[in-house]
Structure 1
Amino acid sequence: MGNAISWIQGSDLPPSVVLVPPLLERERKGRSRFTKSSYDRQFARPQLELLFGDYLGPDLRSILHFAPPDDPRINVTAKLGLPRGIGLGTGQSGTEAAGPAVGSMTLRFEPDPRHPYSFVDVKAGAAGAAGNLATMRACMIDAGSGLAAFAQLPLAPGSKQGALLQGQNLRLGARYTSPALSAGAVMSPSQALLHDAWVVGRVGGLVWGASTRPSLALGPLFSEPAPDTDPRSPIQRAVDACLSRASYGIAYSPGAQSATEHGRFTAALELVEERQLSVAFLYHMALQRNVHNPFEGSGEMRRGDVVGITNYVDIGFQMVSDMQSAQGSVLRFGASWQANKNVMLKARAGLDGVSAAAVFRSWWQPAFTAGLAASYDLRTGQPRFGATAAIESYRHLRQVIGWWQVYERSHEGNKMAGARLTQRHVASKEDAAYHEGKGLLVPLSEVDNPLILGQVAPAEADLL
């Protein structure tokens, strides 16, 4: 081994390398996951939402994520969209009218950037059905003990005094979380109302969980006697109320031993409130292909040391059967292919229609992402088109999201742009053979190893 390193360091010729680009698509909702039920983030839910949703919708969206370089504790996210996008009607004239514009802005403060899951934020937007102008959230988690507390306080319009804090709608939550178990609940103290409760566990690659959203009024339940027509005890009535709104799920991902070490595929089965049965399958591949585009390696390509590039391919399937009506069933397939650090293609097909999107990203500072989508609605026979434009001022790609590993660039790498942003690893004999046409297209298991990629995750990232 030492001789090999000395030979590499002493040789005038650079070693052959395989390019490892950063992941183009990231899910930011995971930063606030400890203010929500752990159940909602299991069973491949976030990954399927990302695969089937982002960039594929027939709407017009713009996103701005700004992280000031002078203060790593603050970041701002703003969104603006036209939900209905642009449609070309069959038998109709011209362009279909777009829906009302919607927008929101979130200001987030992280006291310690090394622990991004403890934060305070304010999200403001157009008045919704509840009349809320904004919502304030706060979360504090201790990775050592696994204990966390969080709060959500709506800000609603008042009659004469403008906006008033709605203390009666305050929600408080508490949870215990570890790499193997998570349990918690969310309540409204002023109303003595139980909104949500869950328990999730992990045993090797097997994840199981149960959740209930009973909106259960605890005060009247335990203080008032049961009606004469109801022979059940107060405890039994509470249990029945929780079971009537309960969901159960189980998922298997071989090779997944923690939240940051996931297997290549995930198979999930979920029963939602005894009304829906969901079956999902998600397959993630990191594949190597030969390099044909001279721009993928910039100047490095012209030296002939780059023999391959890593591609990311994700394939997902989901079947949701309505146990009360066959008309409510949903079947959809989805796939995405990231060819390099700048280009990604996505497609989705289902009982309602098909859609495809092309996404392009520049890794300048700030980074710019543009996505164009086309879809065809099988129910109306109408094609639709959508577009997404996003600007991101980033500091680090450090966040561990789902089972997609996002590497962290070095301090020097954060100052670079273009091709030098892409990591490289020394090519093996198999890599060189593949470059010469003698090898097979095989998955590279090392590509998802956070140690090899130099990925540094917060201490809380491994918690359920």
Structure 2
Amino acid sequence: MWKWLFSREPAPPPPPVVLVPPLFDFPPLAARNRMLHSSYDVVFGKLALTSLFEDYFHQARNFTTRIMLKPIEDPHVSGPLDHKPKDSIAGDALFRWQSDVNDPHTFMDLYVSTSNPILQMRSCAYYPKYGFGAFGVFPLLLKKRESSQDYGLMGLRYGSGNLSFGVTLLPFAMKDELPKSAWLVSKMGRLTAGVQYEPQQGNAKLSNLMNWSCAMGYGVGSGSPLCPSFNFNLELVKSSQFIASFYQHMVVQRRIYIQTYCSSTNMVQSNFFLRVSVDDAIAENNMLDPTFRIGASWQANKNFLLKAKVGPRSSSMALAFKSWWKPSFTFSISATRDRADGKMQYGFGIQSESLREASYQRADPNYVMLTQSKEHLAKGIVWKAGKRPMLKSDIDAGHFDGLPRELQPLDKIL
């Protein structure tokens, strides 16, 4: 009996798992207000480009603070407070209410600023069951009203997974200023195409090509941070500018040791952006030179984010550190080198938020690590880490319901 008790083998270690760090920002700030803008201005990779080239890149020699807190008693309310000093001290505050804490598409907010507009109200109502929505932006207090747009803007839209169209109007505009814009975007498989009408002052004829923009994009991937994807887009803007962009999102796994073998998922984004003037006469008047930008970001884990971008006039790098307390705090620093004078300038930022519950790295049920004895059962091997293959189960099939909200795709509404 004693021999049997002392001769038992120890229990086998738990199976290896794949850990996914929480995203730095979800949804991105650019996505929180996407329903106030034309779908043409949001798709074709523009939402991802805005986040890649702007987030955490602070103005040189400036200190930026942002506080986004929601009251404990009311989870529908949040209040981002921005402090973005320029030549003088300036501050912005935003009070936001949304019907569902997990749905940023139906909301109302009040914007207060020391600049112009002083007080502004924005509202959006969207009904996913029917696909219809309405939105409006109304400056309530302005230092000076000079144009019809200073009195407000209203819009109607329809959106589904494959089609979006809508129109924006200036309710206090003259007849020749209606509409302000109209768009139509359609998605067919991996191909997305769209047109947008923005009439010029003095010539709002439909036959005027300067009032039209068109774009086409080809993308692969679901839009989930767990799924590698890329997007290639071509756009002709008002017959004067041609834009080409390429955006790629990669999922990189590396091995770490936490009680047993684990694999940590890193998020990597890269982009190339090129803008060329088509009309030489317009280029001379606007002083618009061919512009290109290259950007990349790498989220190493739940705490560190590294970003860089290079352009013809300057190059910048940003480093952000997030502490997942409750509320969480993000400290960031950016460095910009101007190619004209060769000087290096720095910007700093602090951000605090309680919109999401602080969560550490967690095991993702859609990824499993197989042992060698079961390698022959793997049908969808995506990559290998050492001798242990990594199997991706049903993400490609679009089964995201069991995932946390921030790991689900954002493209359910075009």
TM-score above 0.5: yes
User: In the alignment, what sits opposite 1:342?
Assistant: 303
Task: Give, as a single letter, the amino acid of the residue that structure 2 aligns with 1:117.
Answer: H
User: In the alignment, what sits opposite 2:84?
Assistant: 81
Using the size of structure 2 for normalisation, the TM-score is 0.81
Correspondences of 1:12-91 after superposition (within 5 Å): 13-26=13-26, 27-57=28-58, 58=60, 59-83=62-86
Task: Give, as a single letter, the amino acid of the residue that structure 1 aligns with 2:80.
Answer: T
What is the CA distance between 1:380 and its match in structure 2?
2.5
User: In the alignment, what sits opposite 1:88?
Assistant: none
TM-aligned CA distance change 1:270 to 1:435, over 3 Å: closer
Q: Helix, strand or coil for the counterpart of 2:180?
A: strand
1:432-456 CA distance string (max 9 Å, x none): 9999843689999959963453438
Contact kept in structure 1, 2:221 and 2:230, CA below 8 Å: no
Q: Is 1:374 aligned to residue 335 of structure 2? A: yes
1:328-365 CA distance string (max 9 Å, x none): 22111111111110011111112112111211101110
What is the CA distance between 1:274 and its match in structure 2?
1.4
What is the CA distance between 1:282 and its match in structure 2?
0.6
1:205-250 CA distance string (max 9 Å, x none): 1111111221568xxx9xxxxxxxxxxxxxxx63135x32221111
Question: 2:169 and 2:141 mapped to 1: Cα distance?
Answer: 19
Contact kept in structure 2, 1:174 and 1:186, CA below 8 Å: yes
More helix by share: 1
User: In the alignment, what sits opposite 1:239?
Assistant: 206
More strand by share: 2
Question: 1:208 and 1:322 mapped to 2: Cα distance?
Answer: 21
Q: Is 1:252 aligned to residue 218 of structure 2? A: yes
Stretch deviating more after TM superposition (349-358 or 436-445) = 436-445
Contact kept in structure 2, 1:135 and 1:152, CA below 8 Å: yes
Question: 2:154 and 2:127 mapped to 1: Cα distance?
Answer: 17
Task: Give, as a single letter, the amino acid of the residue that structure 1 aligns with 2:413.
Answer: L
Task: Give, as a single letter, the amino acid of the residue that structure 1 aligns with 2:64.
Answer: R
User: In the alignment, what sits opposite 2:294?
Assistant: 333
1:368-405 CA distance string (max 9 Å, x none): 0011111211022211111111001124xxxxxxxxxx
Question: 1:245 and 1:443 mapped to 2: Cα distance?
Answer: 46
Question: 1:79 and 1:375 mapped to 2: Cα distance?
Answer: 22
TM-aligned CA distance change 1:443 to 1:359, over 3 Å: farther
Correspondences of 1:44-443 after superposition (within 5 Å): 44-57=45-58, 58=60, 59-83=62-86, 99-113=87-101, 115-128=103-116, 132-157=117-142, 169-191=151-173, 192=175, 193=177, 194-214=179-199, 238-241=205-208, 243-256=209-222, 264-291=229-256, 301=258, 303-304=259-260, 306-323=261-278, 324=280, 325=283, 328-395=289-356, 414=357, 417=359, 419=360, 421-425=361-365, 427-429=368-370, 437-438=386-387
What is the CA distance between 1:460 and its match in structure 2?
9.5
Question: 2:392 and 2:407 mapped to 1: Cα distance?
Answer: 24
Task: Give, as a single letter, the amino acid of the residue that structure 1 aligns with 2:387.
Answer: K
Runs of 5+ in structure 2 lacking a partner? 1-10, 376-382
Stretch deviating more after TM superposition (338-347 or 46-55) = 46-55
Stretch deviating more after TM superposition (100-109 or 36-45) = 100-109
Stretch deviating more after TM superposition (322-331 or 13-22) = 322-331
User: In the alignment, what sits opposite 1:228?
Assistant: none
Contact kept in structure 2, 1:195 and 1:215, CA below 8 Å: no
Q: Helix, strand or coil for the counterpart of 1:214?
A: coil
Question: 1:259 and 1:152 mapped to 2: Cα distance?
Answer: 30
Question: 1:248 and 1:123 mapped to 2: Cα distance?
Answer: 32
What is the CA distance between 1:127 and its match in structure 2?
2.6
User: In the alignment, what sits opposite 2:8?
Assistant: none
Question: 2:323 and 2:68 mapped to 1: Cα distance?
Answer: 15
Correspondences of 1:441-452 after superposition (within 5 Å): 446=395, 450-451=400-401
What is the CA distance between 1:126 and its match in structure 2?
2.2
Contact kept in structure 1, 2:242 and 2:276, CA below 8 Å: yes
1:260-319 CA distance string (max 9 Å, x none): 997610001111111211110011011111126xxxxxxxx2x22x42211111111101
Runs of 5+ in structure 1 lacking a partner? 1-10, 84-98, 222-236, 293-300, 396-413
Question: 1:459 and 1:115 mapped to 2: Cα distance?
Answer: 13
User: In the alignment, what sits opposite 1:229?
Assistant: none
Contact kept in structure 2, 1:269 and 1:280, CA below 8 Å: yes
Stretch deviating more after TM superposition (11-20 or 47-56) = 11-20
TM-aligned CA distance change 1:335 to 1:317, over 3 Å: same
Contact kept in structure 1, 2:338 and 2:344, CA below 8 Å: yes
TM-aligned CA distance change 1:20 to 1:260, over 3 Å: closer
User: In the alignment, what sits opposite 2:7?
Assistant: none
Question: 1:171 and 1:216 mapped to 2: Cα distance?
Answer: 17
TM-aligned CA distance change 1:195 to 1:316, over 3 Å: same
Q: Helix, strand or coil for the counterpart of 1:34?
A: helix
Contact kept in structure 2, 1:286 and 1:445, CA below 8 Å: no
1:88-141 CA distance string (max 9 Å, x none): xxxxxxxxxxx333321111111343543111111111233xxx2121111111
Contact kept in structure 2, 1:75 and 1:108, CA below 8 Å: yes
TM-aligned CA distance change 1:431 to 1:31, over 3 Å: farther
Question: 1:167 and 1:373 mapped to 2: Cα distance?
Answer: 35
User: In the alignment, what sits opposite 1:3?
Assistant: none
